[in-house]
Amino acid sequence: MSGLFGDDEPETLEPEAPPEGPGLFGDALPAAPAPATAPTTPYRVLARKYRPTQFADLIGQEAMVRTLRNAFALGRVAHAFMLTGVRGVGKTTTARIIARALNCIGPDGTGGPTTEPCGVCSNCVAILADRHPDVTEMDAASNNGIEAIREIIEAVRFRPMQARTRVFILDEVHMLSKPAFNALLKTLEEPPAHVKFIFATTEIRKVPITVLSRCQRFDLRRISVAELSQLYGSVTEKEGKTIEPEALALIARAADGSARDGLSLLDQAIAQTPDGEHIRAAAMVEMLGLADRSSVFDLFEAAMAGKPAQALAITDNAHARGADLGELLSDLLELVHTISRLKSVPDLRHTSELPETERVRGAAMADTLSMASLGRAWQMLLKGAAEVEQAPDRRAAAEMVLIRLCHVAELPPPGELMRRLTENPGMSVAASAPSPNGGGGGARAVANGSVRMEAQPIPQGPVLSSFRDVAALVAERREATLHAHLVHSVHVVRFAPPVIELNPQPDAPRDLAARLSAVLTEATGTRWTIAMVTSTGAPTLAEQGDAADHERRKAAETHPLVQAILLAFPGSKIEQLRDSSLDSYGLPAIAALGGEAEPAGFELPPPGTDDFDEPTNFWENTP
């Protein structure tokens, strides 16, 4: 609107603040009126509010903290650190604590580097507020070019403005480009004494080895469920809330080793819970889109009992509550792993590492189910989880996996089927069971509770009555590498053709079972099953040969004739023992049709026999 003379009206101005100091005549100025509403402190999320500020606050990283404390105490602080680990375990937080430890001057301003920064000096306060001029924090994901690194290299030349040490923190350093890494190398190798570099990354494999070799590396470990549960319980108490132990366990498990992720979930849980009420497990199940833990146990029990109708009813209820059935299969996989651990390590039943439900119901299922059944369930669920991710209908795919698991649970384990085959060598199963990955293996034929057998012609092929025969066959097939591993790298646990159970040594290749099965199947015309187990087996063929050779040498050394020769020719020694009755592995031949082996040993012919005239058949003398 125009003014009286056609000009624009002046803008409305805010009232000026009252001047400071005494009035014109020396009297005091009137007090400024208080604002209508006092400013409120902005809310800080739990992940920031409870971020550790001391090394003692870091959980689950005792090894790193111990090393850093010793380094500060001895004055051997590295010029560059590489912190690696999954998201949310404290990499950036640790970098900031190191920056404060390097620059803390204490409450009186006279302190030096310390692992217990005071938190009240000017350097500590400024670093905590992310506004210290000598501590530069850069996100390498968004500043990954060589220009950003050149700025750092240029800044390195100047001494700190107010701190003791200039600290450069580069987060997600693996995102730097190759030219940027190359530009940093020289400065990183020989930085000035007043400069420290701290790098953080979740992808350590993407960091060039030339950079890693110039840094002191710390691997921040994934935080355990028990440690996270304790942390979240303490935070909940400080926030004036109460939470059920089952809800704590759900949040800690969903955090997957990340303290920050779990604090964000706990923040959400507190926000959705009315004041004065407990944070309940049922609410966490709904918030996280999970199936109730007891429902997971019920579902697995129904599947392993071969009850598809009951299993589908449980999945229907879970889906109605909003649970994702793909995640439900992941829960089943985790449960199978937990039960397998309880079966393999019974002491876990008495520790606090697992929640109460896992210890009680899981232990009961571990006593009931065999490792063969658990292994088959693991394979089917593992393949099924991948199918769900690729299927257009996740729910339908998950239900098909559970239906297959229910029907396979009724079948005897593969080991039982093979036992029946070996007990009836002239028979074979009319139709095989479905494969562990869920694929069809043909219809089952069951009559009167037993697998129906049909006569099949026995294929003709080499007779393999011992594992040595198997190794010799592999050698004849010119499979030199495979033969070497059979001799040196496997322990025979059970030899029951066409089934061989082996306990491999760490140097054995992962595909040894498949390669050996292929060779034997091709050579004999019979399908062989090679199982890798952890049971204690017999010594390797090489160990057996060495032991037999040792016994023969020991027997030869104690023979009176040999002792007489060694006494007559000082300095002579037994170089080699020759025995034409031994096989290529230095072992006595095995009698046909599974007979006992000839006793291993060494025996010289008595004096006066024909063989006595040829001592070189048994030893060679070296004067």
Pairing between β-strand 195-201 and β-strand 135-139 as defined by DSSP bridges: unpaired
Between residues 604 and 317, which one has the greater pLDDT? 317
Give mean pLDDT, residues 368-374: 87
- The pLDDT confidence band at residue 110, using thresholds 50, 70 and 90, is confident
> How many percent of the chain have pLDDT more than 90?
30
In this predicted structure, the answer to whether residue 409 has a pLDDT above a threshold of 50 is: yes
Return the top range by mean pLDDT from 156-165, 283-292, 461-470: 156-165
Looking at residue 443, its pLDDT comes to 37
Give mean pLDDT, residues 392-417: 82
Looking at residue 568, its pLDDT comes to 65
Between residues 562 and 147, which one has the greater pLDDT? 147
Looking at residue 83, its pLDDT comes to 94
pLDDT digits (tens, 9 = 90+) for 535-550: 888 899 888 888 888 7
Query: Tokens 């646990």 map to which residue?
Result: 493
In this predicted structure, the answer to whether residue 312 has a pLDDT above a threshold of 60 is: yes
In this predicted structure, the answer to whether residue 393 has a pLDDT above a threshold of 50 is: yes
Closest among 94, 244, 265 to 169, alpha carbons compared: 94
Looking at residue 43, its pLDDT comes to 83
Give mean pLDDT, residues 360-369: 87
- The pLDDT confidence band at residue 121, using thresholds 50, 70 and 90, is very high
In this predicted structure, the answer to whether residue 166 has a pLDDT above a threshold of 80 is: yes
424/216 Cα distance (integer angstroms): 63
- The pLDDT confidence band at residue 10, using thresholds 50, 70 and 90, is very low
Looking at residue 263, its pLDDT comes to 92
Looking at residue 278, its pLDDT comes to 86
Closest among 141, 98, 134, 89 to 116, alpha carbons compared: 98
Give mean pLDDT, residues 436-462: 45
- The pLDDT confidence band at residue 618, using thresholds 50, 70 and 90, is very low
Domains along the chain with CATH numbers: 46-219 (3.40.50.300), 225-288 (1.10.8.60), 293-409 (1.20.272.10), 414-455 (no CATH), 467-538 (3.30.300.180), 548-617 (no CATH)
Between residues 477 and 26, which one has the greater pLDDT? 477
Q: What is the DSSP string of 445-491?
A: -EETTEE-EEE-PPPP-----SHHHHHHHHHHTT-HHHHHHHHHSEE
Task: Tell how many helices (H) and how many strands (E) occur in the chain.
Answer: 24, 12
Give mean pLDDT, residues 31-46: 66
Alpha helices in 4-119 (DSSP H): 46-49, 62-74, 91-103
Looking at residue 332, its pLDDT comes to 92
253/546 Cα distance (integer angstroms): 51
Lowest mean per-residue pLDDT among 22-26, 63-67, 477-481: 22-26
In this predicted structure, the answer to whether residue 607 has a pLDDT above a threshold of 60 is: no
Torsion-angle region of residue 374: left (phi > 0), alpha (psi -120 to 50) or beta?
alpha
In this predicted structure, the answer to whether residue 294 has a pLDDT above a threshold of 90 is: no
Between residues 104 and 27, which one has the greater pLDDT? 104
- Per-residue buried b or exposed e for 452-469, using 16+ beta carbons within 10 Å of the residue's own CB: ebeeeeeeeeeebbbbbb
Lowest mean per-residue pLDDT among 172-181, 190-199, 211-220, 565-574: 565-574
Give mean pLDDT, residues 276-297: 79
Q: Write down the pTM of the prediction.
A: 0.54
Give mean pLDDT, residues 335-346: 90
**Beta-bridge partners for 447:** 450
- The pLDDT confidence band at residue 100, using thresholds 50, 70 and 90, is very high
In this predicted structure, the answer to whether residue 612 has a pLDDT above a threshold of 60 is: no
**Amino acid at position 556, single letter:** A
In this predicted structure, the answer to whether residue 130 has a pLDDT above a threshold of 80 is: yes
In this predicted structure, the answer to whether residue 65 has a pLDDT above a threshold of 60 is: yes
Element (H, E) at 171: strand 166-171
pLDDT digits (tens, 9 = 90+) for 211-247: 999 999 999 988 888 889 999 999 999 998 999 888 8
Give how far the C-alpha of residue 561 lies from the chain's centroid of Cα atoms, to the nearest Å. 61
Map residue 495 onto helix, strand or coil. Answer: strand
Return the top range by mean pLDDT from 76-85, 480-489, 523-532: 76-85
Q: What is the DSSP string of 402-440?
A: HHHHHHHHTSPPHHHHHHHHHHSTTEEESSPPPPTTS--
Cis peptide before 539 (omega within 30 of 0): no
- The pLDDT confidence band at residue 417, using thresholds 50, 70 and 90, is low
Give mean pLDDT, residues 313-321: 87
Residue 173 neighbours by CB under 8 Å, 6+ apart: 82, 140, 199, 200, 201, 207, 211
Pairing between β-strand 166-171 and β-strand 135-139 as defined by DSSP bridges: parallel
Q: How many CA atoms lie within 13 A of 215 on its CB side?
A: 25
Tokens of residue 422, six digits: 């070996």
552/201 Cα distance (integer angstroms): 60
Lowest mean per-residue pLDDT among 96-100, 439-443, 568-572: 439-443
Give mean pLDDT, residues 241-268: 89
CB 88 within 8 A of CB 61: no
pLDDT digits (tens, 9 = 90+) for 456-477: 444 456 778 888 889 988 888 8
138/170 Cα distance (integer angstroms): 5
Tokens of residue 88, six digits: 């949310």
Give mean pLDDT, residues 481-504: 89
- The pLDDT confidence band at residue 179, using thresholds 50, 70 and 90, is very high
The mean predicted confidence, pLDDT, of the chain is 79
- The pLDDT confidence band at residue 17, using thresholds 50, 70 and 90, is low
pLDDT digits (tens, 9 = 90+) for 67-98: 999 999 999 999 999 999 988 899 999 999 99
301/383 Cα distance (integer angstroms): 20
CA distances from 398 to 300, 329, 375 (A): 13, 7, 19
In this predicted structure, the answer to whether residue 416 has a pLDDT above a threshold of 80 is: no
Looking at residue 378, its pLDDT comes to 92
